[in-house]
Amino acid sequence: MKHISTIFITTFLLFIFTACNNKTRKADGADTIAMVPCPQFIADNALHNIRQQCEIGPRVPGTEEWRKCGDSIVTWFSSLGLNVEEQQTTVQLYDGSSIPCRNIIAHLNPDNNDRILLCAHWDSRPWADNDPDENNHHTPVPAANDGASGVAMMLELARILSSADSIRTGIDFVCFDAEDCGSPQWYDGPHKADSWCLGSQYWSRQAAENRYQARFGILFDMVGGRGSTFSREGYSMQYAMPVVELLWHIAQQLGYGHYFPIRDGGYITDDHVSVNQIAQVPCIDIVPYYTDGPSSFGPTWHTLADTPDNIDPNVLKAVGQSVLQLIYNDAF
């Protein structure tokens, strides 16, 4: 995944928080957000699915494991009654070679033009180029957190939302491919930011061409790692500040303030950048920010230690319940 650039700090704090259509807000002068009754996000279900994906093997584009997992994702969403479609194309890597790319898209309430976008990448990085052992730098990453956790998050949200007769808002679940095929650290050629997030670049171009609209989007990236906390990412604040502010304060009110500190992080090259800039859907990124250790993305990032054993169901719960509450607040 991606890289982090300059960190900026802002003291700006909204006192009235809204989603993009002004449905959800703090009452004037109030310290709390009125919460609509909401089901429980079951973190163990998400953890089980993370294990299922990892048992298939690293989902490196073009491999048999990638094909098998992609087919499984289609089956999992379809079994929930969602309409599933695929985008298949070919994308060019950092070195000029080409790989297949398969975006998987599931639609809840497809006939409703009032839509929310939820997204994550499902591929595995082909090289564990941040592993402390250089002998592992050409080995694919298991991608429990950096890949599987975002898909598992969406599947559990889809399970809950698809069984809620009262949810009429249209929701699109997009699994982006080829997010993590950016130039490896050991590559001695030019490192280009646009060699990352290839599937979301393609999806965003198609979305713009087809005039796709959603009120807002949420990207899940590495949402289960032990020790994770989620700062307010820079591009998210630039393009979708009201959604960031609302979600972080919902999390605080639900008791998940430790995971969602009111703190600004850096600008991350991630799938939401194309969603914002090309598709022009205001989209935030829930991505961890570590203030110490070997990487700001956590100790398992792009290493062979990115396994289900290093997933914390408490982190999954904090993210899933907060987003679910935001959706329920927004949908009623």
Average pLDDT, consecutive stretches of 10 residues, N- to C-terminus, the chain (332 residues): 39 33 43 90 98 98 98 98 98 96 98 97 98 98 98 98 88 98 93 92 98 98 97 98 97 97 95 98 97 87 98 98 95 56
Q: By the 8 A CB rule, do 267 and 50 touch?
A: no
**Predicted TM-score of the model (pTM):** 0.92
The predicted-structure confidence for 139-167, as pLDDT tens digits, reads as follows 999 999 999 999 999 999 999 999 987 78
Within 135-270, residue ranges assigned H as helices are 149-162, 198-209, 234-253
Helix axes 313-331, 149-162, angle to 10 degrees: 40
Q: Indicate the helix (H) or strand (E) that contains 170.
A: strand 170-176
Report the pLDDT value the prediction gives residue 2, as an integer from 0 to 100.
56
Residues in the chain: 332
Report the pLDDT value the prediction gives residue 10, as an integer from 0 to 100.
30
The predicted-structure confidence for 95-122, as pLDDT tens digits, reads as follows 999 999 999 999 999 999 999 999 999 9
Facing residues of 174 across strands?
A: 105, 119
- Selected from 2.40.50.140, 3.40.50.970, 2.60.450.10, 3.40.630.10, the CATH number assigned to the domain covering 4-331 reads 3.40.630.10
* Main-chain dihedrals φ then ψ at residue 21, nearest 5 degrees: -110, 15
- Ranges of each domain in the chain: 4-331
Q: By the 8 A CB rule, do 182 and 199 touch?
A: no
251 CB neighbour count, 10 Å cutoff: 25
The predicted-structure confidence for 187-218, as pLDDT tens digits, reads as follows 998 888 899 999 999 999 999 999 999 999 99
Report the pLDDT value the prediction gives residue 48, as an integer from 0 to 100.
98
